[in-house]
Structure 1
Amino acid sequence: MPTSHNAEENPVVDQKAPERATPALRERLVRRKPVEKLVAEASGPEASGLRRHLGFWHLSMIGIGATLGTGIFVVLGEAVPVAGPAVVLSFVLAGLTALFSALAYAEMAGMIPASGSAYSYSYATMGEFMAWVCGWCLMLTYGVSVAAIGVGWGQYINEFLHLTTGMTLPQEFLFGPMEGGLINVPAAVVVLLAMFALLAGVRESTRANAVMVLIKVAILVMFVGISVTAVREGNFAPFMPMGMAGVSAAGATLFFSYIGFDSVSTASEEAKNPQRDLPRAIMFSLVLVTALYCLVAFAAVGAMNWGRFSDGETTLAGILTAVTGTPVWAVVFAGGAVLALASVVLVVLYSQTRILYAMSRDGLIPALFAKLDAKGTPRANTLITSVFVAVLAAFVPLGPLADATSIGTLFAFALVNVAVLVLRRTRPDLPRAFRVPGAPVTPLLGVFACVFLVVSMSMSVWVAFGAWLLLGLVVYFAYGMRRSALEDDAAAEVRA
């Protein structure tokens, strides 16, 4: 009875098929992109079409441009009511948290000079699934932060118009529908202006950014020099009215201000000497920005009682008017702030396009995002990303944007610290242009600091972040996992 015999065998085969599919799924999730392949794509025979124009100075300006301004010009007015005069400690807390991660970024960027930044580091150490989660968080970090800064830029444009002409923009076109308006026109405009600058080419956009960075450093130094003359000891009492909980909560929000040094690593494939210049530029930009943040915060709360920090994002210009008795310096400051925030929008939008470029090259998102024009610019990527972010900036208010950005940043930074630990153990032979001092303790402290700030965030932020991650899982399993360049790549590393 051969037929009957085959009929009995078929059900057995069918029953075992699902058991074979489970390991296949697990292998897909943990497959890793070899470090050597990442390096080859960045600077070897398989190198991309991105052109190498950037030296240490340009990379430092990218880091400073993406970081300096966000927390001081935009979020300080929201953080002071939470922490009181102790907001200075909140900046220190956020800065120390960033420092641990910056050290990890410096080691990884010098070793794996790939434009994917934390996404690429996760791919090489923790596998494709964690790389996707990291990249998805970076989409939130960069895309949403650009929109948030655009909202703050609109506030300073309005302040500048008011100080110079006595006129203000109609409220309907200064706020989105969630704030009682119709559409935030200035926020959308600055994103589109940054888009045109990026389409002109990376060389031209980095030159424009360098000029704007120098201007904003100058106006912040001007603010400190003027405001420090009005510092009163009584304005620091009580120093910590909300306790340590207020300091940590404000620190979590202000961490939004420190995402800029990550932008340096996204320029890896356009740096002339990434192994040498990336670590130096990351550390230099973070130290300079942290020092300026603390100085400005000290001068601000010392010159004006913390209880008066409730009139929006243009508090610093108001302090200058109160201190000097004339609006002249406030006009200068507001004008500088307009340029300062524009530079942040430009650089962070640049970083977002490079993250998407790396993910597209790996097949996890459509290939359109990795196509380059004759100048070596991902044109379609830049257009799509910019339009999406401009719409977001036009309709969503600042507060939720800043908090959502912070949690995505902290998650990505924690993964970079873990990546350092993994490669120290699994690939101690790899050449490292920079080594995190005190490892493994320092990277572990970096992870702990990120977790500490994350748990300080409100439940509403966690809900929003969870919804974003859920959407990311749907996209990955429906598209990214099946289209991955490692799907049929024998070079993929698979380890439990």
Structure 2
Amino acid sequence: MAAETGADSGGGELARSIGLFQLAMIGVGATIGTGIFFVLTEAVPAAGPAVVWSFVIAGVVAGLTAVCYAELASAVPVSGSSYSYAYATLGEVVAMGVAACLLLEYGVSSAAVAVGWSEYLNQLLGNLFGVAIPDVLSNSPEEGGIINLPAIVLVALCALLLIRGASESAAVNATMVLIKLAVLVLFIVVGISGWNTDNFADFAPFGVTGITGAAGIIFFSYIGLDAVSTAGEEVRNPRRTMPLAILIALATVTVVYVLVALVAVAAQPAAEFEGQEAGLSAILESVTGQAWPGTLIAAGAVISIFSVTLVTIYGQTRILFAIGRDGMLPRFFSTVNPRTRTPVNNTIVVAIAVALLAGLLPINFLAEMTSIGTLVAFTVVSVGVIILRRTAPDLPRGFKVPGYPVVPILSILGCIWIIVGLRTITILVFLIWVAVVLVWYYAYGIRHSRLGEPGTQVEDRA
């Protein structure tokens, strides 16, 4: 069965070139940067200093889901992430619903991160050269601009790198992640000198509702755990490598997130976060009274947020590849360039869509839309673990969820709890989007699906 997809043998269409360290860095790279470098300006006004607990809640729910991902990634090591897992465990219709979640999750998060990158680029240019990109060219129409040009440029650069090949992209990403971690350690070390216990006085001004609402905004940053599983057919020894990479990424991310959030809210009053651009840089400049720490943070953010955008665009192209290979999108999406062995068509399509979102929409709406897509996809993965244990108990698994079935059930309940805390408009737009994708499935996908053909079902390919 493995031979039919190259799940273990390297015989698939995509090049199997990514090792454990690079894969773990894909997970860390897709995660750290989205939540920490700019989402505090959206989350702190919603929860106050208790945003630290919002990060903990999001981390615990993500952790419960991460071990579920680790089991499915070791049992079904193919491209497509939770789409492929849903295809294997819950059927084609549910898989298309999950595909809607993932396309939203990756496309919108790429755009959100690109918008945040634009803010830090302006901060860096101002600190180094005393210049700034005009507001009309660095803000969305809703924010008083015409288009966010730096965000579009970033998306184009990521697309060009991905077209060159997966191994080259993974190597560049790993380097950027190490720079990112060094910059965040700098923030913790310097920022702690501005610790002021008084900033925790009104700890939870909006109560539990504010804490869970902020957790929903933050949760989109945990997309990195899903990004690891999109690389199933480009990883060496995937049954061992994928679960290890997911767990390494989770541990690294959670520790860094909580420490940075704690230092940030201790060093700056909660009221000052709202509307603050390039927040971590601004905090360090305030704490030290000097420009150089903020400049270093801004430079690190410009470099490292590039890696987040790179990985999230990468993830979406591989999900489109998996859906196209199953026949539910035109063959255009399952075409692999014979020279680079990458889905170049998908990269171009995704880059255009993400560039439009990043150029025209504000960051807070993008963050919430990503969160709901991530949460629903995570829920399906946890359900998938339970289903696959019953339907395929003898399927080889390189990793098994500890505390089964309690852990996947808690993961499901945690995801639902955070979803309920999101704004009504976010949930409504999400439901409309899922409905559009399901209409596509019934109008096109169901007639072109390869379900039932020899070697096309995920269970067979795994």
Deviation at 1:135, TM superposition (A): 1.0
- Cα deviation code 1:130-163 (max 9, x no counterpart): 0011011100000110011111111111111111
Alignment map for 1:123-134 (pairs within 5 Å): 123-134=87-98
CA contact (8 A) 2:450 2:456 kept: no
Deviation at 1:372, TM superposition (A): 1.1
Alignment map for 1:325-336 (pairs within 5 Å): 325-336=289-300
Match of 1:380 among 320, 345, 360: 345
> Match of 1:432, as an amino acid?
R
Is 1:444 aligned to 2:409, yes or no?
Answer: yes
Q: What is aligned with 2:247?
A: 283
Deviation at 1:313, TM superposition (A): 3.6
Q: What is aligned with 1:453?
A: 418
> Match of 2:447, as an amino acid?
R
Alignment map for 1:41-440 (pairs within 5 Å): 41-43=5-7, 47-373=11-337, 374-440=339-405
- Cα deviation code 1:334-383 (max 9, x no counterpart): 01101111000001110110011001000011111111111211111111
Number of equivalences: 458
Instruction: Name the CA distance, whole Å, in 2 between partners of 1:369 and 1:48.
Output: 16
Is 1:466 aligned to 2:431, yes or no?
Answer: yes
Instruction: Name the CA distance, whole Å, in 2 between partners of 1:253 and 1:444.
Output: 22
Instruction: Name the CA distance, whole Å, in 1 between partners of 2:96 and 2:454.
Output: 18
Deviation at 1:199, TM superposition (A): 0.8
Deviation at 1:68, TM superposition (A): 0.7
> Match of 1:48, as an amino acid?
G
Q: Aligned pair in 2 of structure 1 residues 170, 234: CA closer, same or farther (>3 Å)?
A: same
Instruction: Name the CA distance, whole Å, in 1 between partners of 2:69 and 2:325.
Output: 22
Deviation at 1:488, TM superposition (A): 5.8
TM-score with structure 2 setting the length: 0.96
Instruction: Name the CA distance, whole Å, in 1 between partners of 2:396 and 2:439.
Output: 37
> Match of 1:429, as an amino acid?
D
- Cα deviation code 1:11-69 (max 9, x no counterpart): xxxxxxxxxxxxxxxxxxxxxxxxx58x7324268943211111110101100110011
Instruction: Name the CA distance, whole Å, in 1 between partners of 2:104 and 2:418.
Output: 17
Instruction: Name the CA distance, whole Å, in 2 between partners of 1:42 and 1:172.
Output: 49
Give the secondary-structure state (helix, strand or coil) at the position aligned to 1:217.
helix
Give the secondary-structure state (helix, strand or coil) at the position aligned to 2:39.
helix
Q: Aligned pair in 2 of structure 1 residues 128, 430: CA closer, same or farther (>3 Å)?
A: same
Instruction: Name the CA distance, whole Å, in 1 between partners of 2:39 and 2:314.
Output: 22
CA contact (8 A) 1:90 1:247 kept: yes
Q: Aligned pair in 2 of structure 1 residues 346, 490: CA closer, same or farther (>3 Å)?
A: closer
TM-score with structure 1 setting the length: 0.90
Instruction: Name the CA distance, whole Å, in 1 between partners of 2:452 and 2:20.
Output: 37
CA contact (8 A) 1:73 1:313 kept: no
Q: Aligned pair in 2 of structure 1 residues 238, 59: CA closer, same or farther (>3 Å)?
A: same
Instruction: Name the CA distance, whole Å, in 2 between partners of 1:433 and 1:77.
Output: 40
- How well do the aligned residues superpose, as a CA RMSD in angstroms? 1.6
Instruction: Name the CA distance, whole Å, in 1 between partners of 2:457 and 2:351.
Output: 33
Instruction: Name the CA distance, whole Å, in 2 between partners of 1:447 and 1:437.
Output: 16
Give unpaired runs (5+ residues) of structure 2: none
- Cα deviation code 1:182-226 (max 9, x no counterpart): 111011110110001101111111111111101110000000000
CA contact (8 A) 1:172 1:181 kept: yes
CA contact (8 A) 2:75 2:397 kept: yes
- Cα deviation code 1:96-132 (max 9, x no counterpart): 0101110100000001001111001101111000001
